[in-house]
Structure 1
C-alpha cells in the first residue's frame, strides 16, 4: 500500500466517469467504500494493483452494483443448477455448499451480508480459494497480469473486459494518491 492516503473524493470522481458512465448510485458508493475500508483495516499490505483487480472483479461479478447480490436468473433457471440451492451469492458469486461451508456460512443468504461478502472476496482471491489461483500468481512487484488474473475466479471468461476495469481502477487509485 502506498504511503499517501487515497483522496476518496478524487477517486470516486475518477471511477464515476471512467467506469460507471458518469453516475454512481449511493449503493455503489457504499459498496466501494466498504471495500476500501476493509482493505485498509484488514489487508493494509494489499497493493493498489491487487485492490484494483479485486474491485474490477466485484464490479463484474455484481453486475456493476458493487453490492452483494444473488446470481442472476429466475427461480426455474436457478433450480436447474447442479449446485441449487447453493447458487452464486455475494461480491464474488460463490457456488456449491462446500464453498459456503469453507467460509463458515451455514445459510446461503448469509453470503449476502457485508462482513461475510467482504471476507469471501478478499480471502478467496488472496489465498486462491476459488480455483487454486491467487492474486500473487498474477500481481506482484514488477508484474501485473490483469488478463491472466481472471483465472482466480472463472477461467478466462471475460478476462479482457475485467482487465479493462482493473486498469481503470488502478489509474484512479494511482491518481487519487498524487497531490491534487
Structure 2
C-alpha cells in the first residue's frame, strides 16, 4: 500500500486494525476483496492523493453498504422504493429533485453501488461522466469490479474535493439529497467521521489525530 503522506501501513497491519475496530473482530473474504478493490483503484487513479480522503472514502463505503464492502442495491421492496422515490409515491417533490419524473423511476433508479447512486438525474449524470449507459442498465452501478476504474471509486474521486466538506459535497451529489436536506441525515456525520479516523489510523499507523468529528480539511 503506497501512500505519500507519511509512513504507510503494510497490508497485514491495515487489515488487522480494521478487523478489530470496524468489523467486530471478523473479516469475511468478500469484505477483504472489496477493500482491496477500492485501494487498488485509489492507487491507480490518485497515487499521490491525500490519505485522509482515502480514509473518508473507505468510511463512506463502510457505512453505505452496511459493512459488506461490496456494491449493493438499496434495501427494500419495489413497493417501498416506489413510495420513497417515485413521482407517484409519497414524496413527489423529492422524486422530481431526483429526476424521477416517469412512473416506475423510483424503484428503477434506487440506490446502487458502493456509494448508493440514487435517482434518474444522477444515473444520467454519471452515464455522461463515465461514458457507459447506467440509465439503460442501472445494475451496471453494482459491477464495481469489472470497470477500470470502478464506477464507485470514480464517484468518490471526482466529488470528494469539491466545495469544502466531503460529507456534503460527495454524498449529497451522488445520493441525490434535496437542496437544504441533510445528507442521509447529518446525525450520521460524526459516525462516518469516526469510521474515517479508524481507516486513517489503519492506513497511516504513525499518524496522529487528523480532523474534527464532522469534517476533513
Same fold (TM over 0.5): yes
Distance 1:75 1:49 in 2: 37
* Structural RMSD (CA): 2.3
Tell me the SS of whatever aligns to 2:108: coil
Which of 8, 27, 31 in structure 2 is aligned with 1:28?
Answer: 31
Match of 2:203 in 1: 173
| 1:27–1:66 CA contact under 8 A, matched in 2 | yes
What count of residue pairs does the alignment treat as equivalent?
A: 163
Show the 5 A alignment for 1:8-157.
Answer: 8-80=11-83, 81-82=85-86, 83-104=106-127, 105=134, 106-114=136-144, 115=146, 119-128=150-159, 134-135=160-161, 137-138=163-164, 148-151=165-168, 152-154=170-172, 155=183, 156-157=186-187
The alpha carbon displacement at 1:175 in A equals 1.4
Deviations 1:52-107 (A, max 9, x none): 00000000000111000000112221222223310000001111122122222231
| 2:8–2:204 CA contact under 8 A, matched in 1 | no
1:176–1:62 CA distance, 2 compared to 1 (3 A): farther
The alpha carbon displacement at 1:157 in A equals 4.5
| 1:10–1:176 CA contact under 8 A, matched in 2 | no
The alpha carbon displacement at 1:171 in A equals 0.5
Gaps of 5+ in 2: 87-105, 128-133, 173-182, 208-217
